[in-house]
Amino acid sequence: MKVKGIAAFALGVALILSGCGGESSGIGGSGGTEACEHVWGTWTEETAPTCTEEGVEKRTCPKCGKEERQKTPAAGHAWGTWQEKKAPTCTAKGTQERECSVCHKKEEKDVEAIGHADGVWDSDGEGHWKKCPVCGETLTEKEPHTAEDGECTVCGGEALGLAYAVYEKECHVIGIGTESGDIVIPATYCGKPVTEIAESAFSYEGITSVVIPDSVVYIRETAFYQCSALRRVKLGSSVKEIGEQAFNWDRALSEVELNASLEKIGKGAFCHCTFTEIKLPSSLQSIGQEAFYSAALQTVTVPASVTEFGDRIFYQCKSLQSVRFEKGVKEIPDDACYGCQLLTSVSLPDGLETIGGRALGNCPALSQISIPSSVRTIGEGAFEYTGITEVAVPDTVETLGSAAFYNCKSLTRAVIGNGVTSIGAMGKTSDVGAFEGCALLNDLTIGSGVKSIAQRSFRGCELLVKITFRGSTDGWKGIEKEKDWGPSKKQMGWWAPVLSAVVCNNGALTGDDIG
């Protein structure tokens, strides 16, 4: 017990004498201070670092107990491998994700779009295009098929529907393709408007009806030529022109619906068709030669808008019964209604100026005609072989052509206006006379303006024994008359004169004074 107390005391003295950085107690010392020469221990972790924050470690001097600290670097993330979070597509970026195994923080990164794979062909009945086999997106514009026996030689697809020619801004129908029967032409093809039905596109095909869309502007020549089974046609609102012989020889065509903006019907467009009526629109400006030749029309009205006519527009329409030309029409063309055997009614408008040669010729059922006072020219044979019973040629008429009323066997009365200067064409011995063959004509008045009467003008008018002349006797004598001009009756192979008197406004002429 005594020994332990001595040892404790000695240790306390030693600590005091060697205190770190402290002053000596003066016991056995020099009376100054003395620093500790640290003997550092090993660094030990005081605060562990994290993935993103620094840690702290310390060490201690065992001699003096002094502690020293320093920072340790953040540990950093322990990332796992990248995993796909969103797969990239042909056109859109994808994403990948990874996770720290310590703190479980996650991070993402973009993965570039993979881009389209080489295109493969896709198609429909109209055309073909290339698409991406991965995403299905269309890579090229749609192009029309190059068809051969119903198969496209480019893509190998089935080339269905009509055949087209495709241009920069429009398409034209050029053939029937794989269609048949009732045809409905689309307004667009490959995203472009269908504006035209090409020449001979459907000629000789067995189609039964066709509906033409509003996008079509032109129906070219022979487009539907000799479609023997075609029964119905409906035009879209934009068609401006029907080409030459477009529907010629379509003998089953019984129903045609024209549009309100149509401007031109070409030569022979509806020859031999079987529709009985057709409404010509007020927009129509031109009717071509033989447009309705031998069609089965029964009634028709020609609108005032028409300013251009070809010859023979209703030639030999043998079922035609009624024709009306609206006010504004200036001309009835040559042979317009020639050979219309059942024609009984013709309405000629005020303002009409010309009745063409044979315009109403060979219409035996036509018994009445009113010639407007605006008419200036009546062509050769204009009313030949008609059934008219009387006629008044107005004073406005200047030219009365040869054979104008030839062989009108029912004509009994005729008045020739004061404006006519010549009856028939002088010097043409081969021409038929203006009233030749009018066997029942017995009442004739000739206007005062006549200066010449051509040969045969009244040959065969065997009942015409008296003529009334609106001028004077001197005026009558001054008229140039070709040989065989007057009324006559055939006897024993020659033509015997029958005229016995010309009654003028100042008296009558007989015998040789008649001339």
Task: Give residue limits of the domains in the chain.
Answer: 389-515
pLDDT over threshold 80, residue 12:
no
Average pLDDT, the chain: 90
Q: Which range has the worst mean pLDDT, 69-73, 113-117, 122-126?
A: 122-126
Span 260-271, average pLDDT: 98
Decide: 360 and 337 in contact? Cβ < 8 Å. yes
Q: Which range has the worst mean pLDDT, 25-39, 149-163, 177-191, 350-364?
A: 25-39
Q: In what order do the strands lie in the sheet with 377-378?
A: 331-332, 354-355, 377-378, 399-400, 422-423, 452-453, 480-481
Across the strands, what pairs with 363?
none
- What proportion of the chain, given as a percentage, has pLDDT over 70? 92
Q: Bigger pLDDT: 21 or 239?
A: 239
Q: What is the pTM of this model?
A: 0.74
HEC assignment per residue over 195-241 = EEECCCCCCCCCCCEEECCCCCCEECCCCCCCCCCCCEEECCCCCCE
Closest alpha carbon to 215 in 245, 189, 236: 236
Q: What dotted CATH number matches 389-515?
A: 3.80.10.10
Q: What tokens were used for 190?
A: 């490959």
Across the strands, what pairs with 123?
128
pLDDT in tens, 319-331: 999 999 999 999 9
pLDDT over threshold 60, residue 5:
no
pLDDT over threshold 60, residue 15:
no
Span 12-39, average pLDDT: 48
Q: Grade residue 148 by pLDDT with cuts at 50, 70 and 90.
A: low
pLDDT at 154: 80
Q: What are residue 413's phi and psi, to 5 degrees? A: -140, 135
Q: Grade residue 21 by pLDDT with cuts at 50, 70 and 90.
A: very low
Q: Cα dihedral sign for 314, 315, 317, 322?
A: positive
Closest alpha carbon to 450 in 479, 428, 409: 479
Q: Which range has the worst mean pLDDT, 1-10, 65-74, 262-271?
A: 1-10
Q: Which range has the worst mean pLDDT, 121-125, 369-373, 442-446, 451-455?
A: 121-125
For 481-510, letters b (16+ CB in 10 Å) and e give: bbebbbbbbeeeeebeebbeebbbeeeebe
Decide: 294 and 270 in contact? Cβ < 8 Å. no
pLDDT at 9: 36
Counting Cα atoms < 13 Å in the Cβ hemisphere of 174 gives 13
Decide: 465 and 498 in contact? Cβ < 8 Å. yes
Q: Grade residue 250 by pLDDT with cuts at 50, 70 and 90.
A: very high
Across the strands, what pairs with 416?
393, 446
pLDDT in tens, 384-398: 999 999 999 999 999
Closest alpha carbon to 198 in 159, 234, 246, 248: 246
- Cβ neighbors of 43 (< 8 A, separation 6 or more) are 57, 58, 59, 70
Q: Which range has the worst mean pLDDT, 143-152, 460-469, 506-515?
A: 143-152
Instruction: Among 89-98, 143-152, 401-410, name the most confident range.
Output: 401-410
pLDDT in tens, 280-317: 999 999 999 999 999 999 999 999 999 999 999 999 99
pLDDT over threshold 70, residue 476:
yes
Span 249-269, average pLDDT: 97
Closest alpha carbon to 180 in 160, 200, 195, 198: 160
- How many residues in total does the chain contain? 515
pLDDT in tens, 65-99: 899 999 999 888 988 899 988 989 988 999 999 99
pLDDT over threshold 50, residue 19:
no
Q: Cα dihedral sign for 174, 177, 183, 188?
A: negative
pLDDT over threshold 90, residue 191:
no
pLDDT in tens, 193-228: 999 999 999 999 999 999 999 999 999 999 999 999
pLDDT at 33: 52
Closest alpha carbon to 162 in 114, 122, 210: 210
* E-strand stretches of 33-126: 44-47, 55-60, 67-72, 83-86, 94-99, 106-111, 120-123
Q: What tokens were used for 418?
A: 């004061």
